[in-house]
Amino acid sequence: MMKKTLDASKYLSTRGGIKSVDFCDAVMMGLATDGGLLVPAAIPQVDGTTLDSWRSLGYLDLAFEVMRPFVGNALPPATLRQLIRDSYATFDTTDIVPIKPLDGNNLYLAELYHGPTLAFKDVALQFLGNLFAEILRQRGGCLNILGATSGDTGSAAIHGVRGKAGIEIFILYPEGRVSPLQERQMATVPDANVHCIAIKGTFDDGQRVMKQIFNDLPFKQKNHLGAVNSVNWARILAQVVYYFWGAFRVQEQSGSHEAIQVAVPTGNFGDIFAGYVAQRMGAPIARLLLATNENDILSRFFNTGVYAKGAVQPTLSPSMDIQVASNFERYLYYRLGENALQTKGLMKEFEQTGSITLQGADPVFAAGRGDTSATLATIKKHFENHGTLLDPHGAVGVAVAEANPLPGCKTLCLETAHPGKFPAAVGQALGNDTLARHDSLEQLKSLPLRKTLLEPTVPVIETFIIQTLAERS
């Protein structure tokens, strides 16, 4: 059975400034109206009997069981099941997330790239797109989505809502700082409800502007803004599922029921926060291993206690080129014992000074850095030794996993994108960029781009949104 004292389907802000809302209201709110992030009032605890009953479930049924306590009565069970079926019908494998041995010893790989845009973001954003459409079907009205991306979120969000009635989507991405194929997955989509905004700056600039616009409550409410970034709780929830799934499959394949370690390449702390939720629920995860590239604000924090931003460095793993991790606030809230007042104070300190310090360590986390040389060496090693072609983000995770084994534990490494999205990085590692290919990506190369280049300021972006909505109406 699943034990809970508070209601996991009610949502509060990490900064304590809102009354609790139900699941559908949390989805539509996106960023909490007090500037914080929405979190469930409780994280349900899964006992051993329930875990055993979940092991044999297929991915769709497991997703239903994991999500159900967080959804509560906001959606009928039959509706939730249908949303899950519809969302993963677009994947090219019935496993949704295949789990495979990587080195024949202690490492396993989770292939999170079998959705329509070949990235792990599809796992959450196919679900979120259908969820938005269902809520609008029930309530009526319209939704104008605003998101910022360092590469994969934008295309996955666009493909989750393209052509859907009542929804417009505006995606900010840093000009010249995403891979050419990542840009083409966004800016070649022809649907009229898709609006790509290339900004003159970094992902952090886009994320900052996005958050400032969501904190402009009159503008947000008047223009019916919704969020698809991992500030939206539904995205985290959909990702929690594959941590249970991955742990079960590793245990099954290895013939052991020992808890595992999961290595997660991350920049915005959303993916690994989903793992943290799964671990708190009772998933058989002994440790989460956080892997960063040269933009190592998160790995530095878990190794030193100091969370201090620096300048963004462009790397071979652009989706992780981030210095301000938006989901860190959710973790901070739990690290502080769910103390919203302390969380609010520390986030204000970080906004003012660019740095905060926490004392003590969290045994659930370890962290490491996989820089460019380690990324290239890891891609080369695993292709030549095991015939596995890694993308540069997954390679960061594998490099850190190999440097940080947990005695007695198998390690599951998350491969977050298809290597075909990053032929230049693969070519640099192997001396041959023709190895990293995918037919759906090749077809994009001849299509025209539809994008608008803008300065990353609130007035400029708000004006563009207003003018575009007026034209579309």
Do 37 and 329 contact (CB within 8 A), yes or no? yes
Do 398 and 108 contact (CB within 8 A), yes or no? no
Q: What is the rounded distance in angstroms from the CA atom of residue 265 to the CA atom of residue 289?
A: 9
Q: Looking at the DSSP assignment, which residues form a beta bridge with residue 16?
A: none
> Among the options 3, 10, 100, 121, which is catalytic?
121
Per DSSP bridges, beta strands 21-22 and 10-13 are antiparallel
CB atoms within 10 A of CB 446: 8
Nearest 5°: CA angle at 321, between 384 and 167? 110
- Type of residue found at 410: K
| Nearest alpha-carbon partner for 8 in 38, 34, 48, 51 | 38
Q: Looking at the DSSP assignment, which residues form a beta bridge with residue 1?
A: none
Q: Which helix (H) or strand (E) holds 453?
A: strand 452-454
Is position 121 annotated as part of the catalytic site? yes
At residue 234, φ and ψ (nearest 5 deg) are -60, -30
Angle of helix 392-403 versus helix 372-386 axis, rounded to 10:
90
The pair of structure tokens assigned to 452 is 């608008």
- Type of residue found at 311: A
Q: Looking at the DSSP assignment, which residues form a beta bridge with residue 168?
A: 144
CA end-to-end span of the chain:
50
The pair of structure tokens assigned to 274 is 């989903």
Residues involved in catalysis = 121
